[in-house]
Structure 1
Amino acid sequence: MDVDLRGGDWLDDNRANWDERVPVHVASEFYDRSPLRRGDGVLDPIARAGVDRLFPNGMRDVRVLHLQCHFGSDTLSLANRGASVVGLDFSRPAVEEARRMAAELGVDDRARFVEANLYDARHLLPEPESFDLVFTTWGTIGWLPDVAEWARIIAWFLKPGGRLYFADGHPSAFVFDGDGGPGGLPVFQFPYSNPEPDVLEDASDYADRDVAISNARTWEWMHPLAEVLGALRDAGLSIDAFDEHYQVPWQIFPVTVPVGDGMFGWPSERWLPLSYEVVATARQR
């Protein structure tokens, strides 16, 4: 299926869905921002440990681009660590809330937010080779039809020697859904390798189970590990680290249970990885 990366039904539907989610998420306990107001952060344990490994001496004077930042809670967590941050998201309500929160926290002098379709980033944020870190986590590339272009955009923004930190749900977990298997386990629902989007009608929201989203139609793409890692290498990045985890920061399946610090995992056997993370470095040009 040929997709116009700059627009079309896929982008309009996904943006309307996320625009509607913003006030739901802002009001939810899931997105508790009280740690931000205390000067701390809300990074999940996987991303927090990953950033700590990359910057053991702190993030002061580190310049960060956060792609698909939603309403900026993780972006502002990095700002609270001393980084200078730019957050980019395609949802106007999300960007407006991120800007409002940056002003509330008093970090709007070093936390800037840009409203843009990711594929327009190079036109609206013309700052090539200017970032020490590109950060993108949780529920990002599944909304994108083309990860090769995503990887090229990352490479374009990174300084030589700059690094990508990426974490997301594991594609092997995304082939499953529901609770119709033995013991309430999820069942096969989606193919692992499929260039076509899954066009879904789902009014539920992971942050508030009592809410029904009116703009329920979304377009989502499966991106196997080989496709993602290959795209990053082809874009000029060296893969420094790859790891798989059996936890995610949301209840990915009904059977998964809280395991502490906002994370969810399998109740007993580790059936398969639920998430993965990648660290990559921009090679010298």
Structure 2
Amino acid sequence: MHDFFAANRRSWDERAAIHARDTTGAYMVDAFLAGADTLYPIEAAEIGDVAGKRLLHLQCHIGLDTLSLARRGAIVTGVDFSPEAIAAARGFAKRTGLAADFVEANVYDAARRTPGPFDMVYTTWGTIIWLPDIRAWARTIAAVLVPGGSFYFLDTHPQALCLEESDGRLVATYPWRTPDGGPIPFEAETTYTGDPTPLVNRKTFEWMHPVGDILSALVDAGLVIEAVREHERLPYGLFPLMVEAGERLYRLPDGMPAMPLALSIRARKA
């Protein structure tokens, strides 16, 4: 796994620098620095009151959501494996004066690398596809939570990740579960924000985790599932045919059968 993680880290180091510059405004950096909250409407409506909670944000990237949670009153620690992302996050914390800890670490090392335990673990948008072992992920979450602590997860729906657009249709293209634990390779010439800067580290590796595996891993790790919700909007155009849905979200166009595009889970440590 070291080679796969190393390739992904190189790509995310490169992307983090581009995202922190935010020439296209996709990350709302200027608005954030002026006081805006960067959370999308789905998670903003579902996470509840975080004021005063010790909160761990896994795979925090450049830290804007982490710092938005701090603005909501949480005592936050962000974790990411990219040193460039962590450097950017610390820079935004300094520029805004918001209190937050940022730790450069692999998710699987979070229990020994962060100042836990925590009242809440939070992870959203583009996270578990970068992790090969969903059960180890769930055990890490359980390990860092206090008894009764909560976990919130929101990401692209695994069903949608199996599809690609072809001639205006969505076609099943990728396996629902990564075969034999091996990753699926992808290549991208640029990052996803619309910035035209060519990427040097274009190749990345992803793992597919079906809904059943995610839920079973959390239950087996000692978490009680409190809510599972499916959503028909995403904060990005997963497929070229998607249209704007307002509030920085995208949906499938009118006339196309509706399908779940995002999945959220709320759980609690027993």
TM-score calculated relative to the size of structure 1: 0.89
Question: Which of these residues, 155, 162, 174, is aligned with residue 175 of structure 1?
Answer: 162
Q: Counterpart in 1 of 2:235?
A: 249
Q: Does 1:112 align with 2:101?
A: yes
Distance 1:25 1:48 in 2: 22
* Selected match of 2:172 from 167, 188, 202: 188
8 A contact 2:76–2:101 mirrored in 1 = yes
Residue 138 of structure 2 corresponds to 151
Shift of 1:126: 5.4
User: What is the alpha-carbon distance in structure 1 between the residues aligned to residue 175 and residue 87 of structure 2?
Assistant: 37
| Runs (5+) with no aligned partner, structure 1 | none
Segments of structure 2 that go 5 or more residues without pairing to the other structure are none
Deviation, 1:39, is 3.0
Indicate the RMSD between aligned Cα atoms, in angstroms: 1.4
The two structures have a TM-score, normalised by structure 2, of 0.94
Q: CA deviation at 1:210?
A: 2.4
1:187-218 deviations in whole A, cap 9, x for unaligned? 22101123331022222321125232110111
2:10 equivalent to 1:16: yes
- Aligned AA (2:8): N
| Structure-1 separation of matches of 2:70 and 2:36 | 10
1:24–1:208: 8 Å Cα contact kept in structure 2? no
User: Among the aligned pairs, what percent are the same residue?
Assistant: 43
4+ residue runs of structure 1 moved beyond 4 angstroms? none
Q: Could you tell me which of 137, 145, 148 is aligned with 2:124?
A: 137
- What secondary structure sits across from 2:158 in the alignment? coil
Q: Secondary structure at the match of 1:30?
A: coil
CA–CA distance in 1 between the matches of 2:169 and 2:144? Answer: 41
Q: Which residue of 1 aligns with 2:38?
A: 42
How do 1:1-285 and structure 2 match up within 5 A? 3=1, 8-28=2-22, 29-51=25-47, 54-55=48-49, 59-108=50-99, 111-125=100-114, 127=116, 130-177=117-164, 179-181=165-167, 184-195=168-179, 196-208=182-194, 210-268=196-254, 269-283=256-270
Q: Which residue identity is paired with 2:124?
A: T
CA contact (8 A) 2:17 2:88 kept: no
- Secondary structure at the aligned position of 2:166 is classed as coil
